[in-house]
Amino acid sequence: MLLEINGLSTYYDNIAALKAVDIRVAKGQIVAIIGANGAGKSTLLKTISGLVRPRAGTIRLRDIDLCGLAPERIVAHGVTQVPEGRQIFAHLSVLDNLHLGAYLYHKRRHRSEIKTKIQTLYRMFPILQRRAQQIAGTLSGGEQQMLAIARALMGRPELLLLDEPSMGLAPLIVRDIFSVLRRLNADGTTILLVEQNARAALTIADYAYVLETGSVTLEGPAGELLDNPRVKASYLGG
């Protein structure tokens, strides 16, 4: 198991946002978390990446305990989050954003490796190459999402956490982004994907969890959830 979460509870002041959540992500998988607004999906990812401290439970990456580590330490262990709402560095150029994605190994001896990585990402997202010098805050929403993903990939993550990559994007762009995710996964990146767009998420995922008001209420292979009547009624529009 690459990531193993047991009994995870996170509170904001005294309000529980996650209640004893158990989640497993095997190496090489795409695992999806679906759920309504306010279900605690973002809280789950923020807790994993150290932005929010859990009140109880464990988060293990292989045999490393991630609980209580600072976000920058967790990134160094190979877990990178693409946060909700992109959160690119809006006042910096696209290229600067990419360089900062590789912040942790930004040493001179890695310079050519970083260049190669940027070229690879440009092939994946050609628009970013054309926009390289543009201030990132002026990119369109879809371009910003691509940049956010590309920035995360610059850090060579073993586990990629994505918080609603499809939010606010046109169906064609969503399709592009999901096909990139599938390709990344085929190349060996394990993905934990939080989505409101349940159909798209379940289509590319191997396994999925349904989160409702902070608790996992349903889990199973993604294909089975797609056919589950409860999931159909609540998340797939009947």
Ligand X SMILES: Nc1ncnc2c1ncn2[C@@H]1O[C@H](COP(=O)(O)OP(=O)(O)OP(=O)(O)O)[C@@H](O)[C@H]1O
Question: Considering beta carbons, is residue 58 or 87 the nearer one to another protein?
Answer: 87
Binding residues for another protein restricted to 44-103, rule: CB under 8 A: 49-51, 70-72, 75-76, 80-81, 83, 87-92, 96, 99-101, 103
The Cα–Cα gap between 114 and 88 comes to 19
The Cα–Cα gap between 145 and 178 comes to 12
Question: Considering beta carbons, is residue 42 or 228 the nearer one to Mg ion?
Answer: 42
The one-letter amino acid at 105: Y
Question: Considering beta carbons, is residue 55 or 106 the nearer one to ligand X?
Answer: 55
Residue 153 makes contact with ligand X by CB under 6 A: no
CB of 114 to ligand X, least distance (A): 32
Residue 190 makes contact with Mg ion by CB under 5 A: no
Q: Which of these segments, 1-9, 38-46, 114-122, 139-147, binds ligand X (CB under 6 A)?
A: 38-46
Q: Which does 103 bind (CB under 5 to 8 A by kind): ligand X, Mg ion, another protein, none?
A: another protein
CB of 103 to another protein, least distance (A): 5
Site string for ligand X, 192-211 (x = CB under 6 A): ----x---------------
Question: Considering beta carbons, is residue 51 or 204 the nearer one to another protein?
Answer: 51
Q: Which of these segments, 35-43, 118-126, 140-148, 170-178, binds ligand X (CB under 6 A)?
A: 35-43
- Tokens 């390709």 identify what position? 183
The Cα–Cα gap between 178 and 139 comes to 20
Positions in the binding site for another protein (CB under 8 A): 49-51, 70-72, 75-76, 80-81, 83, 87-92, 96, 99-101, 103-104, 106, 151-152, 154-155
